[in-house]
Amino acid sequence: MWQETERHLYRAFTFPDFREAFAFMTKVALAAEKMDHHPTWTNTWNKVEIWLTTHSAGNTVTEKDRALARVIDQFIPNS
């Protein structure tokens, strides 16, 4: 589940291997580009961590972040 603070939404994802983690990141990247709202993220082998914040709103959580989080959740089975 996403953890929300005043400054960001955060979630960590773990996959069976790097290939699946990278495939997930590709889906997220395409969706983020379409929404013109890009995450801060890291990837180490099978783990992806994502932080969502709206820079133009002073680095706070907005509906843009919540909307992207909902889209990202659709890429995870049983999310």
Residue 41: beta bridge partners?
Answer: 50
Mean pLDDT (whole number) for 67-76: 97
State the pLDDT at residue 21.
97
Strand 47-52 to 3-4 pairing:
unpaired
State the pLDDT at residue 6.
82
79 pLDDT more than 70: no
Structure confidence by residue, pLDDT tens digits, 8-35? 999 999 999 999 999 999 999 999 999 9
Residue type, 6: E
The CA distance from 74 to 20, in Å, is 15
Structure confidence by residue, pLDDT tens digits, 38-58? 999 999 999 999 999 999 999
75 pLDDT more than 90: yes
The CA distance from 79 to 73, in Å, is 6
